[in-house]
Amino acid sequence: MSTIVAIVGRPNVGKSTFFNRLVQRREAIVDAVSGVTRDRHYGKTDWNGREFTVIDTGGYVVGSDDIFEAEIDKQVELAIDEADAIIFMVDVEHGITGMDEEVANLLRRSKKPIFLAVNKVDNNKRAADAVEFYNLGLGDFYTIAATNGSGTGDLLDAVVEALPEKEEESEEDELPRFAVVGRPNAGKSSFINALIGEERYIVTNIAGTTRDAMDTKYNRYGFEFNLVDTAGIRRKAKVKEDLEFYSVMRSVRAIEHADVVLLVVDATRGFDGQVQNIFWLAERNRKGIVILVNKWDLVEKKTNTMKEFEKHIRKQIEPFTDVPIVFISVLEKQRIFKAIETAVKVYESKTKRIKTSELNEFFLPLVEAFPPPAIKGKYVKIKYCMQLPTPQPQFALFCNLPQYLKEGYRRFLENKLRAAYDFSGVPISIYFRKK
C-alpha cells in the first residue's frame, strides 16, 4: 500500500524548500548512482525507516495571481481526497493571510491527519509570533525552518506515526500487476478498452487496492495478471479533466503498487517533462518499465521517423536506456498485444533468479579480463558475487577495496549483465561489499 503525504499552502511559504530537503535526503543515498536530477514535484523519501511519497502541490499552481486562489483550492481538495496525510505550510513572517484561512477552512472539514507547519521560525521572537496560528482552528502546530531543517524532525515523527499501517497483501494481490500510467488524454483508457473489448479471456473485475482504480484480471499468452487502469477513475466534478496534479496523484499510487509500469506517451505531444517525471518515479521505485508511444498513426512519417523518435526518448532517459519502446495505435489496434507481450517479458526478467554458481562463472572471468583500474597503486580484487533475495534484481560483488570502485565500472558491469541475461526494462542494482 503506497502512502502519500501532500504539502499544501499558498505560494512562497517554503513548500518547495521543505520538499527538496525531504527528497534530497533520500536521493543522496539511493540515487547518487544515476546522477539524475530532474525538475520534479514529487518524490520518495523515508523517515524512521518508513517510506512514503511526498508531493509539493505548489509545483502545480499555474497562471497569474488572480487565479492562484482557485487553483490552490482545487489542489487542496484533491490532496484531501487522495493523500494519507497533509502538511499545511504557513509563513510566520506574513502571519495569517486570507488565503491561509481559505485553505484552513477546507482542511477543517477533512477527516485526514493535518499537520500545521509554521515555516521560517529561526529565532525566539519568531517562535513567539507563531502563536497567532492557533487562530486557524487546526490545533497544535510545528515550528520549522525549512532552509536549515530545524524542527522538521518533530514534524516528520508525527507525520509518520499518523500514516496508515501497511496492508497485508491478499491472495488476489499475488497476481502480477501491470499499471497503465501517463499524462491525461494519452490514451490509457482506450488502450485498456481495446485489450478488453477484443478479448474474451477476462475473469473478473475487482476493485483495486489502489483507491478507486479498477483492476481487471486478464489472461494472455497463458499468463494471468491484473491490469490496473489509472485513467477511468471517477473524477470530482470540480476537477478539470486535464489537471496534471490529479493524474500525478493517481499515477503515484498505481506505480508504487505495480510490478510493471506501462507508460503511455502521446506521440503528438512527445516525451515531455511530465512524462519524464512519471518515468523517473517508476525507475526510482525499481519497477519494470515499458514505454508505449500511442497515436503513432497521427504522426507524419519520413524514412527514419520512428528511429529518430526512439533515439530522442533514449536520450531523455539516460543512463537507464535499456527500456523497451513499442509504437502503438490504440485506434487502429496496432501492436497493442505486442505491448502486453513485452510487459510479460519484462515481468519475467524482473523476477528472474540467477544461480550463484552461474553468476560467478559469468562475472569472475569478465573481471579478470577487464579489471577495475588501480587507484593509488592499489588493485581491487573481486572474489565472489551473488544475487540478493530482493523483489527486483540486485547483486552484491564482494571485494577487498569496495571504496575504490567507481561509477563507470559499475555501469560497465551492469551493461554486460544486461546483455547476457536480458534485463531490458528492469532497473538493476549492483553493490560492492567488503569481503
Binding site listing for GTP: 9-16, 56-60, 119-122, 182-189, 229-233, 294-297
| Calpha distance 164→21 (Å, rounded) | 23
For 115, residues 6+ apart whose C-beta sits below 8 A from its C-beta are 85, 86, 87, 88, 142, 155, 158, 159, 162
| Calpha distance 202→190 (Å, rounded) | 17
User: Which three cell numbers, joined as nine digits, stand for 106?
Assistant: 477546507
| Calpha distance 18→8 (Å, rounded) | 11
| Calpha distance 335→107 (Å, rounded) | 46
Is residue 108 classed exposed, middle or buried when 0-12, 13-18 and 19+ CB atoms within 10 A define those classes? Answer: exposed
How many other CB atoms are there within 10 angstroms of residue 391's CB atom?
10
**Smallest Cα–Cα separation from 328: which of 263, 278, 393, 384?**
263
Binding-site residue ranges = 9-16, 56-60, 119-122, 182-189, 229-233, 294-297
**Cα radius of gyration rounded to whole Å, the chain:** 24
